[in-house]
Each structure stands twice: as C-alpha cells, then as structure tokens.
C-alpha cells in the first residue's frame, strides 16, 4: 500500500540505509545516487513514516499546548485563539506540529500532559499559567521535561516563561492618564490571587507615587475580569464624594461594564470619566467611545513561547538563568476614552 523506504530502495537498486541517508543528506552519498534516489522517491510519492522516525529518534517534532479549563468567557476565547495562532505559526515555521490538549481540571490536565510526554507523543509543553500552586509544573520540573509558561509564577524560579511586564504596563497606563491632567485616578482590579492583578495594581501605585498624587484605598476596588465587575465598580466610584476623574481597569471587559453603566447614567466618556484598560481585545475599538487599552501582544506571546520551547527542546543546555524569563513588550493604544474631549476629532 504505502510506499516505504524499502520499496524505494528496491526500485533504485540500493539498500534501505542508502535511501535513509539520501533523505538526511548524509555527506558520504554520491551525487549520482542521491539524484537517482530522490527522483524515485518523488516518482513513487514516498512520504516518511513519522511514527517509525519518532520511534528511533525518540523525538516527535511536536509540542503540546495545554488549554486550561474551558473558560466560557469572551476574553478567554479571544486570548486563547490569538495565543494558539502565535504558537502554531511559529511551530510550523520550525517544523513542529502543535497538539491541543485540555482537561476539565488540574488533575485531568496533569494526566493528559503526563500521558503525552511519557508516551513520547510530544517533546514539550506550553502551559498557560493561572494557578499559584501547580501540580503540572511540579511534574514537568521533576521529570525534567521541556516546558514553558505563558505568564509568571512567583513560586517557581528557574523555569522558562514568557510574559508581559505588567507592572510597567500599568505604570504606563496610569502615567498616560496623569499626563492628560488627571489627579484623582481609580483602579478596578481583578481577583487578588492572580499575579496579573497584583502586578498591575503595583504599577498603578508606582505611577501615583512617582507623581506625588494622592492614593486612596477607596479608589481601588477588586472584581473579576468581567463586565459586571466594571458595572459595579462604576456605580461605587460615581457615588463617592470626591470621585476619581479617571479609571484604570484591569481588563477591557471591565471597561465595557463601566461604559454601560456610565451610559445609563448619561455620563460622558472621557469628559466625566476617562478610562484606560488592558489587553486591547478587538472589541476595544468597536465600543462607543473606543477604549484606550494596553496591547499586550498576545500573538507575540504565543509566538515567543513556541520559539523558546522549541529552542529549549533542541538544546536543553541553554538555561543560563538570566534568560529564563522573556518579556513581551506592550504598548498603549490611545483612543477616545482617555482623550481630551475637545481633541476628539483630531487624533487617530
């Protein structure tokens, strides 16, 4: 049925080893033989059997992206997809295939990853970091499997990771508002156990401190990465006696909630309240007004994660410590939600 290396060999009148060597451009193959064999391979439509290859080389040329619990949220979907696109694109350029695995919970995720790695189906794993303690990381680390974390962990020191500088990002976002003349700036945070929430909060604080602006606890509220959190935060802030004139929100979805609330109460953005948030999801420019947002380069995050992982697979010796953490640059996209109202029609 399928044409194997032996069929080619027979037809070419050489041994299988010769064909194999032609395939891998072995130096000690005469040009003549090489050409002849190649022609015959082409002719017979030979494609190498990856399984057989993998069996002997103990390498699969594929990596696994472990999709966390199916978060039903809009943002997750957009985020994951961008990430996957980055990963797949890079991997494909490096000649690797990408396997998507997912588990309903940590236990399942561990089982899946373990099966894939121990069963030699993939060479390494890209993990999306969400938890603070992680059985999967423990497993990977203790078995010395190549992996890279998208995100940051404070518990694990010497592992490969790709992340944004969220402190700096929040610092930039806040400074932008400050530069627009705002002096009372609030912050809508995410779940406090997420490192990303903590980092962004820290950056916000740093910016205020740096500019000598007032910092009040009541100007910081915690929530989820969801619309509703924004909605609630908004109504809390707007009822404050000395309310903020601008808000930094930890995620664009939160901004949508804020926007909806302000809209209902007939407040104007950015005149009554300016807004900047994070992640720059495609919707950010579609809302009215469009929301200023920090683009964290999700695609790039995935692309780099794949690159780092594959390079680590190829030469595992490279973990020199100081290159373990790769930081993807962010950039602020200024839109109407944080512009001076009289500048509305001028920019963009």
Partner DNA sequence: CTGTGTAAAGCAAACGGTTCCATAAGGAGG
Partner DNA sequence: CCTCCTTATGGAACCGTTTGCTTTACACAG
- Residues lying near its own copies in the complex (CB under 8 A) are found at 2, 45, 47-52, 54-55, 60, 62, 67, 70, 74, 77-78, 80-82, 84-85, 88-89, 92, 97-103, 112, 114-116, 118-121, 227, 256, 260, 263, 282-283, 286, 288
What six digits make up the tokens of 174?
């806040």
Cα gap 311→324, rounded to integer Å: 12
Q: What is the DSSP letter of 130?
A: -
Closest Cα to residue 197, out of 176, 172, 220, 219?
A: 220
Considering only 11-19, 84-92, 127-135, 272-280, which stretch makes contact with DNA by CB under 7 A? 11-19
CA distance 334 to 348: 8
Binding mask 94-133 for DNA (x = CB under 7 A): ----------------------------------------
Among 10, 20, 283, 333, binds DNA (CB under 7 A): 20
Residue 94 beta carbon to DNA: minimum distance, rounded to whole angstroms: 18
Angstrom distances, CA of residue 142 to CA of 6, 108, 145, 146, 311: 41, 18, 8, 11, 20
Q: Which two tokens stand for residue 71?
A: 């978060």
Pair type for strands 62-67 and 97-102: parallel
Query: Helix 16-23 vs helix 31-44: angle between axes, to the nearest 10 degrees?
Result: 90
- Choose the one of DNA, its own copies, none that binds residue 224, judging by a C-beta under 5 to 8 angstroms depending on kind: none
Q: Which of 325, 348, 333, 337 has its CA nearest to residue 271?
A: 337
Binding site partner of 211, from DNA, its own copies, none, Cβ cut-off 5-8 A by kind: none
CA atoms within 13 Å, Cβ hemisphere of 227: 11
In the complex, minimum distance from the CB of residue 37 to DNA, in angstroms, rounded to a whole number: 9
Residue 28 within binding range of DNA, rule CB under 7 A: yes
**Residue 245 interacting entry, from DNA, its own copies, none, C-beta within 5 to 8 Å by type:** none
User: Is the Cβ of residue 143 or residue 158 nearer to DNA in the bound state?
Assistant: 143
What is the nearest approach in angstroms of its own copies to the Cβ of residue 89?
Answer: 7
Cα Rg of the chain, angstroms: 26
**Footprint (CB under 7 A) of DNA, residues 37-96:** 46-49, 52-53, 55-58
Instruction: With beta carbons less than 8 A apart as the criterion, state whether 115 and 305 touch.
Output: no
| Residues within the interface to DNA (CB under 7 A) | 2, 4-6, 13-18, 20-21, 23-24, 26-30, 32-33, 46-49, 52-53, 55-58
């Amino acid at each position: 049925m399928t044409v194997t290396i032996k069929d080619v060999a027979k037809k070419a009148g050489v041994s299988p080893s010769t064909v194999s060597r032609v395939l891998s451009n072995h130096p000690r193959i005469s040009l003549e033989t090489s050409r002849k064999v190649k022609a015959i391979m082409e002719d017979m439509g030979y494609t190498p059997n990856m399984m057989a290859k993998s069996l002997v080389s103990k390498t699969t040329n594929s990596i696994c992206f472990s999709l966390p619990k199916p978060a039903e949220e809009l943002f997750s979907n957009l985020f994951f997809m961008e990430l996957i696109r980055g990963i797949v694109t890079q991997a494909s350029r490096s000649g690797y295939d990408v396997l998507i695995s997912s588990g309903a919970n940590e236990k399942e995720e561990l089982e899946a990853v373990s099966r894939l790695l121990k069963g030699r189906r993939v060479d390494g794993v890209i993990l999306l970091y969400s938890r603070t303690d992680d059985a999967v990381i423990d497993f990977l680390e203790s078995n010395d499997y190549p992996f890279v974390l998208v995100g940051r962990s404070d518990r694990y020191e010497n592992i490969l990771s790709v992340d944004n500088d969220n402190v700096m990002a929040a610092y930039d976002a806040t400074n932008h508002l400050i530069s627009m003349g705002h002096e009372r700036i609030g912050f809508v945070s995410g779940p406090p156990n997420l490192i990303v929430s903590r980092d962004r909060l820290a950056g916000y604080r740093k910016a205020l401190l740096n500019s000598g602006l007032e910092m009040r606890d009541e100007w910081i509220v915690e929530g989820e990465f969801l619309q509703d959190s924004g909605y609630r935060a908004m109504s809390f802030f707007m009822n404050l006696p000395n309310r903020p004139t601008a808000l930094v929100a930890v995620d664009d979805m939160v901004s949508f909630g804020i926007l909806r609330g302000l809209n209902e109460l007939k407040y104007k953005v950015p005149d009554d309240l300016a807004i900047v948030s994070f992640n720059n999801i495609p919707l950010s420019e579609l809302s009215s007004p469009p929301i200023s947002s920090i683009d964290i380069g999700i695609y790039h995050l995935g692309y780099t994660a794949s690159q780092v992982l594959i390079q680590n697979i190829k030469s595992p010796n490279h973990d020199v410590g100081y290159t373990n953490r790769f930081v993807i640059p962010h950039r602020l996209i200024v839109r109407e939600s944080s512009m001076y109202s009289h500048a509305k029609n001028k920019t963009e």
